[in-house]
Amino acid sequence: MPEVRIVNVTKKYGNLYALDNVSLTIQDQEYFSLLGPSGCGKTTLLRLIAGLIEPTSGEIYIGDRRVDKVPPEDRDIGFVFQTFALFPHMTAWSNVLYGPKVKNYDAKQSETIGHEVLELVKLNERLNAYPSELSGGMMQRIAVARALAAGAKTLLLDEPLGQLDAKVRNEIRYEIRRMAKDLKLTAIHVTHDQAEAMSISDRIAVMKKGKVVQIGTPQELYMHPNSLFVAHFIGESNFLEGYITEVNDAYSEIELRQGLRIKALNPRDIKKEERVVLAIRPETCEMKRGHIKAENALFGQVDKTTFEGTIVRYEIRLDNGDRFVINRPSLTEQWINVGDEVTITYPLDKAHLFPYPEAGLTEEISV
């Protein structure tokens, strides 16, 4: 139930900064996700909060209490491990009762708690089975039940759905959120799957190479990415490189390769002649067959189409040589064929302008 506060936390392994001066606050009862590519430090941060490892420097607060020196058993946290870590020598039921027993509750009290949490995770069969005999989904529920039974106030979940197959995963993720909300827990959920994070989180921290890049609600991250990395990692983006040729009050003009000029909003006040990257999401564009004269249009030819169920994905070679992807609904629109000439338009406010990254575009969006 408490607020979790990370202040200037750094964790080094040898010379490697697994976490580099990270600060963030997770609000009381919030369902919060740490999202980022593999190796960016998510697990490290979660383990620091749990007390399984110690920070190299910085402070961690849970509620009003500074906990850097508090051992994990005294932090009132529950941790759900990626591999579940169910004790193999105990039955499912004994696993659930482990926390209450360690905390010295008497047998009756422990069992009451056990039944309560099992009710919550909707599991009341096969309790005498050993973990190796359970399905992935069951193991996952037992792991959550076990953490809840121990009286967790903060629930830490390290890729809790990673071991499950797609269908079970989609069912369980909402259940975990519901339980956390019902019990008024603060939940921190680690995942590398942006769709998962977007669908269940109140807020998300996007991480990259030991740093937090952006914190916001799923909508904020999608609508207003603060960097090329986030634009690339959350959803999908087309990146067009160019130079600013004109800046005025309403918009800026950008010259792309081969002198093609288009417009975009410039909220960051990037100066004239600076090198920039324009990020446009594939699902925001309009596309029409043929060369149609229009304001702010891109012209090209369809190279490849892929039917992906609900959408059709078009890969287009623009006339200036850049590549561009567009997603369109597959049922409500007429498909366009490979080889067709097309005209692409986009709303000005849906194109995001960024300064060209110092390390290069590929490096910036590499995971």
Ligand X SMILES: Nc1ncnc2c1ncn2[C@@H]1O[C@H](COP(=O)(O)OP(=O)(O)O)[C@@H](O)[C@H]1O
- Using the minimum distance from each CB to ligand X, give the nearer residue, 53 or 127: 53
- Residue 17 Cβ, how far from ligand X at the closest point, in Å? 8
Q: Using the rule CB under 8 A, is 115 a contact of other proteins?
A: no
Q: Using the rule CB under 8 A, is 151 a contact of other proteins?
A: yes
> In 10 A of CB 79, how many CB atoms?
25
Q: Are strands 57-62 and 211-216 parallel, antiparallel or unpaired?
A: unpaired
Q: Using the rule CB under 8 A, is 42 a contact of other proteins?
A: no
Are the CB atoms for 76 and 154 separated by under 8 Å? yes
Binding mask 44-63 for other proteins (x = CB under 8 A): ------xxx-----------
Q: What residues have CB less than 8 Å from 15, skipping those under 6 apart?
A: none
- Using the minimum distance from each CB to other proteins, give the nearer residue, 58 or 151: 151
- Residue 202 Cβ, how far from ligand X at the closest point, in Å? 21
Which of 30, 34, 50 has the alpha carbon at shortest distance from 42? 34
- Residue 7 Cβ, how far from other proteins at the closest point, in Å? 22
- Using the minimum distance from each CB to other proteins, give the nearer residue, 85 or 297: 85
Q: Using the rule CB under 8 A, is 79 a contact of other proteins?
A: yes
Query: Which residues lie near Mg ion (CB under 5 A)?
Result: 43
Q: What does 98 bind: other proteins, ligand X, Mg ion, none (CB cut-off 5 to 8 Å by kind)? A: other proteins
Binding mask 17-36 for other proteins (x = CB under 8 A): --------------------
Q: Are strands 65-66 and 57-62 parallel, antiparallel or unpaired?
A: antiparallel
Say how many residues touch other proteins, by CB under 8 A.
29
Q: Using the rule CB under 6 A, is 42 a contact of ligand X?
A: yes
Q: Using the rule CB under 6 A, is 55 a contact of ligand X?
A: no
Q: What does 102 bind: other proteins, Mg ion, ligand X, none (CB cut-off 5 to 8 Å by kind)? A: other proteins
Binding segment (CB under 8 A) for other proteins, from list 83-91, 132-140, 290-298, 321-329: 83-91
* Residues near ligand X, by CB under 6 A: 13, 16, 18, 36, 38-44
